[in-house]
Amino acid sequence: MNAFPRAIRSWFAVAAAVFAAAAVGGTASAQPAGELPAQFGSPPSGDVPILFNDHHIYAKPDQLKQSRVLAAIVKNGTVLVPLRSLFEQTGATVSFDGSTKTVDVAKPGADVKVTVGKPWVVVNGEERPLDVPPEIDNGFVFVPLRVLSEGMGAYVQWVPEKRLVVIRYVEAQVAPPPPPPAPSPVPIVTPPPLPSAPPPAPAPKVTPVNEKFLVADYLISPKVYNELSPGNTAHSSYKVSGAVEIPAFGENWALSASYRHVLYPHYSNFATSGCTPGSAGCGTFTGGAFESGACPSNDQGCVTTVGAGNVEGVNGLGQIYVAAFNAAENDLDVHFGIRVFNPRFYVGLAGLFKNYNYLGYPNLAGIGFGVEKLPDLDEPFSLYGSAYYYPNVAGKYTYPSTPYLGALSGSQITLSYSVWKYDLGGSYNLGNTGAFLDLGYGGEHATGKQNAPSNTSVNAPYAGVGLHF
């Protein structure tokens, strides 16, 4: 793209910003006829331009002030501006105490102190609360826009349709001292007082963005380790997840959920029908009933039973033979948490529910706890993740009714595991469409507790597409 169209677009951008500033902030200061407002650099992607006293200034170092950031950012619905750069524009002196992370801004008649991470500002010794604490971004201290209006009496305005911050600051005028009295008895006429400056306009408050999204992911070649699979690769597996942030009772809450379906093969070397009980490969479990016979140890068809120790005590058989089939596991975990710090870090409680399509396994359920970082879908790219621990995920298993199980036939026992579930991924926005790409890696590890035939694990990378509402 050549320089001439870019210059035309810059002219229209500056003209629109100046007219917006005049409409909301009063008459702009006069400029010589035909002279454009000064411009420095070009705005970096994702940052918000600042129009300061008719100067359009951006984040790249320029001839106005070297090594200073001169653009605003929007974080969690609040406009923040670079403290040092803008206060120096007003003639103030800025000093930073690295041990306490406190910035002191001083000039005649005004003193402002802010501390990184603390939700207040001290103006001339008076402490005032802030909705969002100051923070450090790329090595520079950023403060909410209202600090400029309350600390230095500047006029500030957020122009959302232009994504532009307008700041106007006029140095307070000091009246000259009165002339010495004349020797004559003529009374000295005191000049009228200068008109007081209008009170600063309240800083604009941007409505916080509450995340709401839904995403579907395909699980890429999951690996399954359990009593049916020594690491077989699953297929046709997926997960669907979503979350919503809920402000209530002065706090920020989040409700998120994830449903996962894993389909994987169980292999065996022998058919279970038509064999002679007791012969090699003849099943100890066929057609839903136990039979006598030894399980060949090198065959995946041999599966350790739920409550194997109990079964061995009755008939000496701790395994059953299961013909080849596709096994399915489904689980749903739901998280409810409270935000502990930005951006979007939560701690909370969770519930996990699991079911299976094989061997009469029962539905399992349990309560857990953990931490979660939701994606920041108002940013072009963001990271997210979660880690939840469920100390007891349990259900009631019923033994088959068969004479081979003796007193165990038809009885119930508890089947339980302790489970870790984890997730780590990233999102990438597809422009302003509301859609985003999703990539990550996740899974679970379950440790057998009561009557579990083995420990289990499922893990896989995933990829998918989501919608941001």
- DSSP per position, 208-273: PPPPEEEEEEEE-S-EEEETTEEEEEPEEEEEEEEEEEEEETTEEEEEEEEEEEEEEEE--SS-SS
The DSSP H or E segment spanning 149 is helix 146-152
| Residue 210 pLDDT greater than 70, yes or no | yes
- DSSP per position, 349-411: EEEEEEEESSTTPPPEEEEEEEEEE---TTSSEEEEEEEEEEEEEEEEEE----GGGGGGTT-
pLDDT score recorded for residue 221: 96
Q: What value does the mean pLDDT take over residues 261-283?
A: 67
Q: Is the dihedral of CA 259, 212, 145, 49 positive or negative?
A: positive
Instruction: State how far the Cα of 227 lies from the Cα of 36, in Å rounded to an integer.
Output: 76
Q: Comparing C-alpha atoms, which of 400, 395, 405, 403 is closest to residue 446?
A: 395
Instruction: State how far the Cα of 123 lies from the Cα of 126, in Å rounded to an integer.
Output: 5
Instruction: State how far the Cα of 234 lies from the Cα of 374, in Å rounded to an integer.
Output: 28
- DSSP per position, 218-229: EE-S-EEEETTE
Question: What residues contact residue 124 under an 8 Å CB cut-off, 6+ apart?
Answer: 110, 111, 112
Strand 164-168, strand 50-52: pairing = parallel
Residue type for position 384:
Y
Q: What value does the mean pLDDT take over residues 373-397?
A: 95
**Who has greater pLDDT, 315 or 357?**
357
- DSSP per position, 158-198: EETTTTEEEEE--PPP-PPPPPPPPSSSPPPPPPPPPPPPP
Query: pLDDT (tens digit, 9 = 90+) per residue, 417-442?
Result: 999 999 999 999 998 899 999 999 99
> Of the segments 49-53, 151-155, 206-210, 249-253, which one has the largest average pLDDT value?
249-253
Confidence grade of residue 59 (pLDDT, cut at 50, 70, 90): very low
Instruction: State how far the Cα of 392 lies from the Cα of 407, in Å rounded to an integer.
Output: 27
Q: What is the average pLDDT score of the chain?
A: 79
Of the listed ranges 44-48, 257-261, 345-349, the one predicted with least confidence = 44-48
Gyration radius from the chain CA atoms: 34
Structure tokens at 359: 């061997």
> Of the segments 140-144, 156-160, 463-467, which one has the largest average pLDDT value?
463-467
The boundaries of every CATH 2.40.128.100 domain in the chain are 212-267+324-468
Q: How large a percentage of the chain has pLDDT more than 90?
A: 41
What are the contacts of 120-129 at 24+ separation with CB within 8 A? 121/147, 121/150, 121/151, 123/150, 123/151
Query: pLDDT (tens digit, 9 = 90+) per residue, 178-209?
Result: 666 666 666 666 777 776 667 776 665 544 56
DSSP three-state, residue 2: coil
pLDDT score recorded for residue 398: 94
- How far, CA to CA in Å, does 438 sit from each of 1, 143, 234, 394, 467? 32, 32, 21, 32, 10
Are residues 79 and 56 in contact, defined by beta-carbon separation less than 8 angstroms? Answer: no
Instruction: State how far the Cα of 117 lies from the Cα of 100, in Å rounded to an integer.
Output: 10
Confidence grade of residue 1 (pLDDT, cut at 50, 70, 90): very low
- DSSP per position, 81-141: EEHHHHHHHTT-EEEEETTTTEEEEEETTEEEEEETT-SEEEETTEEEE-SS--EEETTEE
Are residues 420 and 404 in contact, defined by beta-carbon separation less than 8 angstroms? Answer: no
Are residues 385 and 373 in contact, defined by beta-carbon separation less than 8 angstroms? Answer: yes
Structure tokens at 242: 């979503």
141 beta partners? 136
Of the listed ranges 20-34, 97-111, 272-286, 319-333, the one predicted with least confidence = 20-34
Superfamily of domain 212-267+324-468: OPCA outer membrane adhesin/invasin (2.40.128.100)
